[in-house]
């Protein structure tokens, strides 16, 4: 039905609260391939609101990183559980993306609204009677010859689900997706060398200083 009609936008996507300090935030550093990734998460109340996010450095320049990050059909092939991605609406500032995905035991068809400020900011929103309300922010900024990528998400589940389970699923999916995304970024930056331990420590210090 959505393929044959314009999407009814529900106003601008508000994500400013994702850039504020999260309640009782917890962080953990991961090594994804040869890259340092800082994961952070928080739960508000008894799981009424769930925050999750990651920060890392792409070896590619900002424009190349942006192009790869907004190639949604390409991203779908590297995201666990995603079976198909279809672009329903595409304008310079707004997009609508339909995703067929399997999450745990359920198969879902989800439609995301996306707002873009090329080449640095993308905001997205999903409102679904099964999932609930889901919003996210992806921000990219130059970091020398590389690009700093920050991803923050917020979920208000439609039904009560143990927040630990939701965070586990999101962390696994996000870290796997980041690993595959960074492989594509390496191809866009063929001169990138293998990171040393000192390089990784410097990147982690930089990630921590902004959260």
The pLDDT of residue 74 is 72
Q: What does the chain come to in residues?
A: 211
Q: What are the extents of the domains in the chain?
A: 24-70+119-157+169-209
The pLDDT of residue 41 is 98
Question: What is the per-residue pLDDT across 1-50, written as a single tens digit (0 to 9) for each?
Answer: 233 334 556 678 999 999 999 999 999 999 999 999 999 999 999 999 99
- Given a cut of 70, whether residue 102 has pLDDT beyond it is yes
What is the pLDDT confidence band of residue 107, given thresholds at 50, 70 and 90? confident
Joined together, the tokens standing for residue 107 give 């198969």
What is the pLDDT confidence band of residue 211, given thresholds at 50, 70 and 90? low
Question: What is the per-residue pLDDT across 160-177, written as a single tens digit (0 to 9) for each?
Answer: 999 999 999 899 989 999
The pLDDT of residue 93 is 87
Q: Which is higher by pLDDT, 195 or 87?
A: 87
What is the pLDDT confidence band of residue 206, given thresholds at 50, 70 and 90? low
Secondary structure (3-state) at 201: helix
- Given a cut of 50, whether residue 193 has pLDDT beyond it is no
> What CA–CA distance (Å, rounded) separates 85 from 123?
18
Angle of the 163-188 helix axis to the 62-69 helix axis, nearest 10 = 130
CA distances from 136 to 155, 189, 206 (A): 9, 27, 22
Average model confidence (pLDDT) across the chain: 85
Virtual torsion, Cα 64, 66, 70, 75, nearest 10 deg: 60
Conformational region of residue 117, where left means phi above 0, alpha means psi within -120 to 50, and beta covers everything else: beta
- Given a cut of 50, whether residue 147 has pLDDT beyond it is yes
Lowest mean pLDDT among 4-13, 36-45, 59-68, 186-195: 4-13
Q: Which is higher by pLDDT, 9 or 61?
A: 61
- Given a cut of 80, whether residue 203 has pLDDT beyond it is no
* Residues whose CB falls within 8 Å of the CB of residue 125, separated by 6 or more in sequence, listed in order: 10, 13, 112, 113, 133, 134, 135, 136
Joined together, the tokens standing for residue 5 give 């009609």
Residue from 188, 6, 206, 205 nearest 91 by CA: 6
The pLDDT of residue 6 is 40
User: Is the CB of residue 150 less than 8 Å from the CB of residue 138?
Assistant: yes
What is the pLDDT confidence band of residue 208, given thresholds at 50, 70 and 90? low
The pLDDT of residue 163 is 96
The pLDDT of residue 209 is 58
> What CA–CA distance (Å, rounded) separates 184 from 192?
12
> What CA–CA distance (Å, rounded) separates 189 from 187?
5
Number of DSSP helices (H) and strands (E) in the chain, helices first:
4, 9
- Over pLDDT 70: what percentage of the chain? 82
Say if domain 24-70+119-157+169-209 classifies as CATH 3.40.50.
Answer: no
């Amino acid at each position: 039905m959505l393929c044959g009609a314009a999407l009814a936008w529900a106003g601008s996507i508000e994500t400013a609260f994702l850039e504020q300090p999260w309640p009782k935030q917890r962080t953990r550093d991961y090594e994804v391939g040869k890259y340092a990734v800082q994961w952070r998460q928080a739960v508000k109340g008894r799981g009424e609101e769930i925050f999750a996010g990651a920060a890392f450095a792409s070896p590619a320049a900002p424009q190349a990183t942006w192009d790869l990050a907004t190639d949604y059909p390409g991203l779908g092939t590297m995201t666990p559980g995603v079976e198909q991605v279809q672009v329903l609406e595409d304008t310079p500032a707004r997009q609508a993306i339909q995703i067929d995905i399997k999450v745990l035991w359920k198969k879902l068809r989800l439609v995301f609204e996306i707002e873009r400020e090329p080449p640095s900011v993308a905001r997205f929103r999903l409102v679904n009677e099964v999932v609930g309300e889901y919003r996210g922010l992806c921000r990219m900024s130059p970091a020398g010859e590389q690009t700093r990528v920050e991803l923050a998400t917020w979920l208000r589940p439609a039904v009560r689900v143990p927040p630990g389970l939701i965070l586990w699923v999101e962390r696994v999916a996000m870290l796997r997706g980041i690993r595959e995304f960074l492989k594509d970024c390496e191809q866009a930056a063929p001169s990138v060398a293998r990171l040393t331990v000192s390089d990784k420590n410097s990147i982690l210090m930089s990630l921590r200083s902004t959260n």
